[in-house]
Amino acid sequence: MHALITGGAGFIGSHLADHLLTSGHQVVVLDDLSTGSMDNLSSINDHPRFRYVPGSVLDGALLDTLAGEVDTIFHLAAAVGSFVIRDRTLHSLRTNIHGTENVLTAAHRHQARVLIASSSEVYGKNTKIGLREDDDRVVGSPLLHRWSYSEAKAVDESLTHGYVTELGLQAVIVRLFNTVGPRQTGRYGMVIPRFVAQALAGAPLTIFGTGAQVRCFCHVHDVVPALPALVEHQGAYGTAVNLGSSEQVSIAGLALRVLALTHSASDVIHMSYEEGVGPGYEDLQRRVPDCAMARKMIGFRPVRTLDDILRSVIAEQSRPGVAPAAAL
C-alpha cells in the first residue's frame, strides 16, 4: 500500500502511520499541525518509507498532487474536540466539509481508495444501547455550535456515499466511537487525558454535568488495525461501519477509576456544561456502539479493557520530563 494519511500528525493518524510502516507500507502524512504535533511523528520521521508534508486539506491543488502519488487515502484530518468546535465553529465547518470534499475529488480523479473518518457524533442524542449503522440521527438545532461537528460529519458521509454510488469511488466510512490512548491530548476537551493529568497534578478532576452520562472507550491500538482492513474490504465500500468498544462506564465511575489507578488524593468536582464548555452545550446521556458489522466484515474485536487504556495513558503522562499539566 502507498498510503496518504491526512491528519497523520494527530492522535489516531500517527498511530496509523506507525502501524502501516510496521506492516511494510509507504506512508505520506499531510497535516497542518493545528491540533496534531511533530512529536507524534518523532519515532518515524527519519523512516525511509515515510514522508511528512506540511499543509491543509483545504488546499485542493496540494491534495490533488498527493493523491496522484498514492493508491490509498486515510482521511483523518478534521477540526476535533468540543473546545475547538466552540472556539472556531466556522473554520471547523469549512475544514470538516470542504476538506473532505477535496479529498473525495482528488481520490476520484486519481482512482485511489479512501477511508473517511466519521464519528459516533452523527447519532447525536440517540441513547439506544447498541447503536447500529442504520439507526436514526437525533440532533439539535444546526444553529448551535454543539451540533455543527455532527452536521459536518453527516454531510461528509452523504458526500462519500454519493461518490461511491454515482461515481464509482472505492470508499468506506468509519464511525469512530470514543477512541483513546497515548498521544491524545486533553487540551481540546477529551476526558481521559484531562482526568489523568488532573489526577497526576493533584488538581481536582472536573466532571461536566452529573457524571451519570455513559461512554465506551476503545484503545487506539484496537481501532487502528481495523482501518487498513476496512479500506481493503470491497464489501465495505459505500457503507458506514461502527468501530468502538462496548464496555460501558459512567463519567463519574471513570473519575473514580482514574483516582484509584493513579493513587491520587485529588477531589472530584462538578461543573455545569455552561461553565465548562459554554452556552448551548448539550451532552449525550449514553453512547454505546453495536459493532456486529465490523466483526462480520473484518473480525473486529477490541481486546484492551478500560483499565488497560487508563494504565497506558497514566504511563505516558508519568514519563520523566512530562509535566501532566501540559495535557490540560
Ligand X SMILES: NC(=O)c1ccc[n+]([C@@H]2O[C@H](COP(=O)([O-])OP(=O)(O)OC[C@H]3O[C@@H](n4cnc5c(N)ncnc54)[C@H](O)[C@@H]3O)[C@@H](O)[C@H]2O)c1
Residues of this chain that interact with ligand X (CB under 6 A) are: 6-7, 9-13, 30-36, 56-58, 76-80, 95, 99, 117, 119, 176, 178-179
Residue number with CB closer to ligand X (67 or 264) = 67
Residue 113: strand pairing partners: 72
CA atoms within 13 A on the CB side of 76: 29
Computed on alpha carbons and rounded to an integer, the radius of gyration of the chain in Å comes to 19
Residue number with CB closer to ligand X (39 or 136) = 39
Residue number with CB closer to ligand X (30 or 169) = 30
- Please pick, among 123, 149, 188, 281, the residue that the annotation labels catalytic: 149
| CB 263 to ligand X: min, Å | 27
Question: What's the distance, CA 324 to chain centroid?
Answer: 22
| CB 86 to ligand X: min, Å | 15
SS3 annotation, 25-67:
CEEEEEECCCCCCHHHHCCCCCCCCEEEEECCCCCHHHHHHHH
To the query of whether residue 163 is one of the catalytic residues in this protein, the response is no
| CB 78 to ligand X: min, Å | 3
| CB 14 to ligand X: min, Å | 8
- Give the sheet arrangement for strand 2-6, strand by strand: 50-54, 26-31, 2-6, 72-75, 113-119, 171-176, 240-243
Q: Reduce the DSSP state of residue 31 to 3 states and report it.
A: strand
Residue number with CB closer to ligand X (156 or 199) = 156
Give the span between the Cα atoms of 297 and 210, in whole angstroms: 38
Which residues carry out catalysis? 149
